[in-house]
């Protein structure tokens, strides 16, 4: 079994916060792949289903962001999972809005949810970093991440979440490359190869050749013609 964890804060007032994009990803995967109804367990909300050949548990910790590790650890202990079986989906200030990156292990970069998970299970789990952009100054970060996505972000946010759901079976199977390709096809779809036919150039009639100029009649007498031959 694989455990996918989306980070966020519980409660309706946080539902559209930038900090809750991990929850949004879990909801999209569950909806698009026909997972069971959500239920309360492991200090959060969980649902089970299949992504391709893999059985997957989706978890949205209900402990608030800075205690996310408690919920993750409880689920791991129940199913006897290792950190390598876990992938955490979280907001990422250092990526532009709509960007997505996959990472295995490493630091928490000051993210309170990851910091808590590090403290409970170590740092060997996988992460899906979901770009939300940076407000420009560190003092503005708290207000920025706890603010709702503006309506202007709806298009790229919808594309990103649908791409994540499209690629989720590949991620569960351990193929990060195919997962990223699926996301890219939603976020930056290739342009259609069938572009409008170019207007054909009108056939321009070729100019008719000018009639050959007739040579002037030869008025030389026979003796002059003979002399000119030997000049």
- Per-residue DSSP letters for 42-56? TTEEEEEEEETTEEE
pLDDT at 8 over 80: yes
Q: Where are the domains of the chain?
A: 2-187
Q: Is 33 a catalytic site residue? A: no
Q: How many CB atoms lie within 10 A of CB 227?
A: 11
Domain 2-187 adopts which CATH fold? Rossmann fold (3.40.50)
Instruction: Say which residues have a Cβ less than 8 Å from residue 102's Cβ, sequence separation at least 6.
Output: 126, 127, 128, 129, 171, 176, 179, 180
User: How many Å apart are CA 47 and CA 35, to the nearest integer?
Assistant: 6
Q: What is the mean pLDDT of residues 1-15?
A: 97
Instruction: Please choose, from the candidates 162, 65, 48, the residue with its C-alpha nearest in 3D space to the C-alpha of residue 116.
Output: 65
pLDDT band at 219 (very low <50, low <70, confident <90, very high): low
pLDDT more than 70, % of the chain: 83
Main-chain dihedrals φ then ψ at residue 43, nearest 5 degrees: 60, 35
Q: What is the mean pLDDT of residues 111-128?
A: 97
Q: How many CB atoms lie within 10 A of CB 179?
A: 24
- Give the SS3 label for residue 182: helix
Buried b (16+ CB within 10 A) or exposed e, 90-115: bbbbebebbbbebeeeeebeebbbbb
Q: Is the pTM of this model over 0.75?
A: yes
Tens-place pLDDT, residues 13-62:
999 999 999 999 999 999 999 999 999 999 999 999 999 999 999 999 99
Beta strands of 38-191 (E only): which ranges?
39-41, 44-51, 54-61, 86-92, 100-104, 126-131
Q: How many CB atoms lie within 10 A of CB 61?
A: 31
User: How many Å apart are CA 1 and CA 183, to the nearest integer?
Assistant: 23
Tokens 């949205």 -> residue: 60
pLDDT recorded at residue 190:
82
CB 178 within 8 A of CB 186: no
């Amino acid at each position: 079994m694989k455990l996918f964890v989306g980070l966020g804060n519980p409660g309706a007032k946080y539902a559209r916060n930038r900090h809750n994009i991990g929850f949004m990803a879990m909801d999209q995967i569950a909806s698009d792949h026909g997972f069971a109804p959500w239920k309360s367990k492991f200090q959060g909300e969980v649902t089970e289903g299949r992504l391709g050949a893999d059985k997957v548990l989706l978890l949205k910790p209900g402990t608030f962001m800075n205690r996310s590790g408690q919920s993750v650890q409880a689920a791991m202990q129940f199913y006897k999972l290792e950190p390598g079986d876990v992938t955490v989906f979280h907001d990422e200030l250092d990526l532009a809005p709509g960007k997505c990156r996959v990472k295995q292990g490493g630091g928490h970069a000051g993210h309170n949810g990851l910091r808590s998970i590090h403290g409970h299970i170590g740092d060997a789990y996988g992460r899906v970093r979901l770009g939300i952009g940076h407000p420009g100054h560190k003092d503005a970060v708290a207000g920025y991440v706890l603010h709702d996505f503006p309506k202007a972000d709806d298009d790229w946010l919808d594309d990103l979440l649908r791409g994540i759901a499209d690629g989720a079976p590949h991620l569960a199977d351990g193929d990060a490359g195919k997962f990223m390709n699926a996301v890219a096809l939603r976020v930056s779809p290739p342009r259609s190869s069938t572009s409008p036919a170019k207007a054909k150039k009108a056939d321009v009639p070729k100019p008719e050749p000018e009639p050959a100029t007739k040579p002037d009649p030869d008025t030389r007498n026979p003796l002059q013609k003979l002399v000119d031959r030997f000049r």
